[in-house]
Amino acid sequence: MNLPSSLPRRRALASGLLGLAGLASAVMPLAATAAGCAVASGPGTTALVELYTSEGCSSCPPADAAVSRLDRTLADGARAIPIALHVDYWDSIGWKDPFAQAGFGARHSWRVATLGKRTVWTPHFFVSGAEARDWRETLSGQVARINAEPARANLALDARVGADGKLVIDARGTLAAQAAGQSAKPALYLALTESQLSSKVTRGENGGATLHHDHVVRSLIGPIDFSDGRAELHRSLALPADWKRDGLALVGFVEDETSGRVLQAATTGQCLKG
């Protein structure tokens, strides 16, 4: 489906938590415990694979499945982190997507605007900010090209479930020397994703189907601006009772707010317990 976007503006994702009512090869693990884990990005660049999708879209289930099996379809040693952002602009056409958020539709509009375009559609893939229009044929090659680039930013993430049941997040991003003067407006983002999700759709284009999802963005924090080449965040989050702790992962990425290019990405993977 193609829909005209509104005039894009800097993401309607104010610094904070939105919507709160991975791949092991993508990071260098530092530590893992029963309560959480810490990771740091490596010397190369890990690709961020963004999918804009909706349960109301009949063309989207194959793309959702591609996100679920991405780690099995890329070349050995490929480093990519998928995130699926469910947009809300399908919600008035027969089926309200339980995972959709208005902020994700706004981010989609901004994303296409960085390419000089005004029309959004689903499913829509981007690899580190670059469009993957023919995603079945191009995803692997685009990931490989991103992986071949030296790291322009570094990330360190720590996520753990505290004694009170809240998720404690510590994140730090730093710009690499070669990127310090090249990125016009770097910002840090954190996405909390959930996998092993399913939904019985009763109306709309997918009416009668049971859909399965992985790497679904449940909340997005950012933009967190850089100062003197660094951006940091410490936050404690209350998790809804129906979120599966063993399906949660924390994804961090550094993005140039001017060009839309993603400079680096990292994930804890699904290591949260509690």
Instruction: Quote the pLDDT of residue 7.
Output: 34
pLDDT at 37: 87
pLDDT in tens, 41-57: 989 999 999 999 999 99
In this prediction, residue 270 carries a pLDDT of: 86
CATH number, domain 2-267: 2.60.40.10
Quote the CA–CA distance of 245 and 29 in Å, as a whole number: 19
Position 274 scores a pLDDT of 54
Q: Which residue(s) pair with 169 in the sheet?
A: 159, 235
User: What are residue 104's phi and psi, to 5 degrees?
Assistant: -75, -35
What pLDDT is recorded for position 24? 36
Q: Which residues of the chain have pLDDT under 70?
A: 1-36, 178-183, 273-274
* Encoded amino acid at 232, one letter: E
* Ranges of each domain in the chain: 2-267
What pLDDT is stored for residue 182 in this prediction? Answer: 67
Contacts of residue 259, Cβ cutoff 8 Å, sequence gap at least 6: 114, 129, 184
